[in-house]
């Protein structure tokens, strides 16, 4: 049911950027590898690790056995946002309602995908860490937390891809205070696109409060309230076959158009590198 206000119709009104809803930053594509091929399933089988023996010169050896394990990402969830714009609404409105709804829907779907992917990172992570009491909101905890997280992934070749930490906006006070007392300066664009700063070589991204939550999204159920995530960039994969799509279609017995935005998403942290993604529990 549409609920347009009378001010939406022809009046001294213009749709401007400042009139739009505040939008949360999207970070999933900055920390994951995105696969937009049409594949529903991505296979990534892996073999067991061989053992190297060091022995005195002998010229003989023992043949070891190995096993292979299937590891698969399957796209099992769809994200859909649909609305109907009547012809009289579009005709009498002083701005392009179709363009506006398409824009708002695209962001709504993207934001939900971001939430889905970040919670999947927490669920699939096999690395774990519990912060000191006070978590990120206590400034003195930040160097302790970051140094401990770095020790979890140090020594692996994959770390050259870069490191990330995703926090919620309620964690920012301690981080900003710690950075300020350490001599860091923040530009006016510090929070653009969710990027806060780099601390000890870790890129820190901010999402809105309650992004990490206890909830069910599609086929996935999460228990991530009070959690955050850290890890190596580009190791986890989220599949988005053909990306997010948009349709306008006529509907019988209704004027105007139905506007639909949708996409199909799957997310996976591969078993062989899951210890390079760290599920952080706030204390």
pLDDT tens for each residue of 91-117: 877 678 888 888 888 889 989 999 999
Predicted TM-score of the model (pTM): 0.86
Query: Confidence class of residue 196 from pLDDT cuts 50, 70 and 90?
Result: low
Query: Confidence class of residue 14 from pLDDT cuts 50, 70 and 90?
Result: very low
Residue 18 reports pLDDT greater than 80:
no
DSSP code at position 59: S
pLDDT in the model for residue 3? 66
pLDDT in the model for residue 131? 98
Q: Which residue, among 50, 95, 40, has the nearest Cα to 72 in the 3D structure?
A: 40
Measured in whole angstroms, the distance separating CA 97 from the mean position of its chain's CA atoms is: 29
Alpha-carbon distance of 116 to 128, in angstroms, equals 20
pLDDT in the model for residue 88? 87
pLDDT in the model for residue 148? 97
Can you say whether the dihedral through the CA atoms of 164, 169, 173, 174 is positive or negative? negative
Alpha-carbon distance of 12 to 94, in angstroms, equals 8
pLDDT in the model for residue 112? 93
Measured in whole angstroms, the distance separating CA 282 from the mean position of its chain's CA atoms is: 19
Q: Looking at the DSSP assignment, which residues form a beta bridge with residue 69?
A: 46
The strand ranges marked E within 17-137 are 33-35, 41-43, 46-47, 68-69, 72-74, 77-85, 127-130
- The stretch 49-67 carries a mean pLDDT of 93
Residue 144 reports pLDDT greater than 90:
yes
Alpha-carbon distance of 183 to 249, in angstroms, equals 56
């Amino acid at each position: 049911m549409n609920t347009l206000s009378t001010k939406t119709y022809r009046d001294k009104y213009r749709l401007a950027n400042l009139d739009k809803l505040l939008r949360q930053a999207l970070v999933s594509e900055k920390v994951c590898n995105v696969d937009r091929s049409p594949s529903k399933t991505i296979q990534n089988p892996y073999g067991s690790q061989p053992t190297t023996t060091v022995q005195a010169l002998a010229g003989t050896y023992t043949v070891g056995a190995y096993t292979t394990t299937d590891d698969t990402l399957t796209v099992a969830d769809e994200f859909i946002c649909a609305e109907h714009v009547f012809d009289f609404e579009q005709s009498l409105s002083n701005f392009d309602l179709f363009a506006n709804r398409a824009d708002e829907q695209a962001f709504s779907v993207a934001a939900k995908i971001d939430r889905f992917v970040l919670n999947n990172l927490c669920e699939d992570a096999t690395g774990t860490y519990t912060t000191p009491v006070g978590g990120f909101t206590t400034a003195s905890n930040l160097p302790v937390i970051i140094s401990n997280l770095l020790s979890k992934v140090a020594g692996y070749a994959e770390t050259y891809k870069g490191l990330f930490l995703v926090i919620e906006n309620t964690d920012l006070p301690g981080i900003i205070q710690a950075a300020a007392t350490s001599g860091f300066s923040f530009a006016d664009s510090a929070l653009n696109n969710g990027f806060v700063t780099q601390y000890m070589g870790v890129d820190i991204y901010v999402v809105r409060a309650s992004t990490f939550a206890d909830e069910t999204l599609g086929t996935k159920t999460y228990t991530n309230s009070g959690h955050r995530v850290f890890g190596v960039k580009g190791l986890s994969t989220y599949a988005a076959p053909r990306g997010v799509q948009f349709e306008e279609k006529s509907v019988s017995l209704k004027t105007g158009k139905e506007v639909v935005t949708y996409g199909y998403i799957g997310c996976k942290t591969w078993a062989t590198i899951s210890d390079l993604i760290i599920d952080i529990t706030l204390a």
